[in-house]
Structure 1
Amino acid sequence: MTPVKPLFVVDDDEGIRSLLQAYLEQQGFVVTSFPDGESFVEHLRLHPEPQMVILDVMLPGIDGFEVVRQVRGFSRVPIIMLTANAEETDRIVGLEMGADDYLEKPFNPRELLARIKAIRRRTEVQAAPANNDVERYRRFEGFCLDTLSRNLRGPDGEDIPLSGTDFQLLTMLLDSCGEVLSREAIAGITRGRDNLPMDRFIDVQISRLRSRLGDDAKAPTLIKTVRGKGYVFTAQVSGSANASV
């Protein structure tokens, strides 16, 4: 049996921490909780990555947005943010900073579990070894993406940090190079659920990925918007088994 990786909960509300820890441990997770962002970030730097992080936005000291910013400097661990603010702004900011999903408080723990399982399934599919390594490395406009390690190297030779959702979206675009992808199709892959009305998740993710690639949002050359239809990746893509090709 494959051992379950730890799951971290970061929330200053002791009641919520206790509730989530008890519920998730009943579901087979190994849960470690933290009351603030500083202790969590320090712990994450020194220990193996957890399977996922459940992170509250409102924290004492550094808030959840700053935690995401710091974590994305050294880790791609999936992050689900919890927000008590019904305003769309909080969700958009969290996604732009590198979170993978969000959930509004108060929430049903069963919905949180469903989000965790959906992200786990997508992560496991990405991590599964391919039948061959013919196209392990994907290249476009000087970029090189290692689809096994999920590392992206830019034209200048520097590594570009990608969150789990960044990687999902980029690989989807590369695999469908030249084809228009609808927002609904992208939502189905990156979120595992329908794209809800007024849900700007896809727009934010596209904007963030463009930023990662240095693609000008006002005049993009890599990821172009097809009005009323979706998005298309227009650069030429090649694949190889050798990193040095």
Structure 2
Amino acid sequence: MARILLADDDIELSDMLVDYLRKEGFDVDAAHDGDAALRKALANPYDLLILDVMMPNRSGFDVLRELRVRSLLPVLMLTARGDDIDSIVGLELGADDYLAKPSSPRVLVARIRAILRRVETKGELQNGGERPDQIALDDLVMHMGSRMVVCGNNPVSMTSTEFSVLDILLREAGNVVSKANLSERALGRKLSRYDRSLDMHVSNLRKKLGTLSDGRERIKTVRGVGYIYSRT
């Protein structure tokens, strides 16, 4: 049973979501301000944090920023509907995904399960999955069991979503991967017209990995199509 922390200062909404998620089979705790959310997230072995942007004491952004210094706990940000800036900032700070409020609890559950499936890959590989223990290309090595990435002999910390995006791009190195294909395989959902998630995750990967040893861009954008991981 996955253990989830729901951080939202709307107590009535939180109570409703907690009841709904428990009926869906999740073990759920709640926090109603940023301080409590950060304290609980660091002190307990949760599988996922659902984090609202607007909270007292610390905003969701402040919580995420401090959390990422010490933890790669998967985070699903709850943002104001239509506020692209909030979603972009959340993804830049290391959120795994975002969902606009208000939204259907059914959609929330689908996003939760998609994130958890990405994290569960680690356990499956450690228990003898069919994929190789590591993928190596040029100066980059992905250790699949531990979900560790080493680039230029330096370890690189990544969220579960960033790891999944990089995994797919690396396996398809030299070939263009369409955004639609990447969204379904890495995010577990169809690509919607205004969804910026993939763009932000790729942007984060570029910042963390830098260029290839010869100075070329590591992950190229093929305008109107998708992305390609460059081979030297």
- TM-score, normalised to structure 2, is 0.89
Match of 1:125 in 2: 121
Match of 1:42 in 2: 39
Which among 133, 142, 147 is matched to residue 145 of structure 1? 142
Aligned equivalents of 2:33 and 2:205: distance in 1? 29
CA contact (8 A) 2:220 2:230 kept: yes
Match of 2:24 in 1: 27
Q: Offset at 1:35?
A: 1.2
Which among 168, 171, 175 is matched to residue 175 of structure 1? 171
Q: Secondary structure at the match of 1:114?
A: helix
Q: Offset at 1:85?
A: 4.4
The amino acid across from 1:99 in the alignment is A
Q: Offset at 1:134?
A: 8.0
Whether 1:161 aligns to 2:157 is yes
Q: Offset at 1:208?
A: 0.9
* Equivalence map 1:1-245=2 (5 Å): 4-48=1-45, 50-129=46-125, 131=128, 135-157=132-154, 159-215=155-211, 221-235=217-231
The amino acid across from 1:151 in the alignment is M
Aligned equivalents of 1:184 and 1:139: distance in 2? 25
CA contact (8 A) 2:118 2:160 kept: no
Listed as ranges, the gaps of 5+ residues in structure 1 are: 237-245
Q: Secondary structure at the match of 1:135?
A: coil
Q: Secondary structure at the match of 2:220?
A: strand
CA contact (8 A) 1:72 1:163 kept: no
Query: What number of residue pairs does the alignment pair up?
Result: 229
CA contact (8 A) 2:52 2:78 kept: yes
Q: Secondary structure at the match of 1:73?
A: helix
CA offsets, 1:50-89, max 9 Å, x none? 1211110001122111222222222222211111242211
Relative to its length, the structure with more helix (as a share) is 2
- TM-score, normalised to structure 1, is 0.85
Worse overlay, 136-145 or 203-212: 136-145
The alignment's C-alpha RMSD in Å is 2.1
Aligned equivalents of 2:122 and 2:216: distance in 1? 27
Q: Secondary structure at the match of 1:80?
A: strand
Match of 1:242 in 2: none
CA contact (8 A) 1:72 1:161 kept: no
- Would the alpha carbon gap of residues 160 and 108 (structure 1) be closer, same or farther in structure 2, given more than 3 Å must change? same
CA offsets, 1:26-62, max 9 Å, x none? 12211111112222222222322x1211110001122
Q: Offset at 1:235?
A: 3.1
Q: Offset at 1:127?
A: 3.1
Q: Offset at 1:205?
A: 1.3
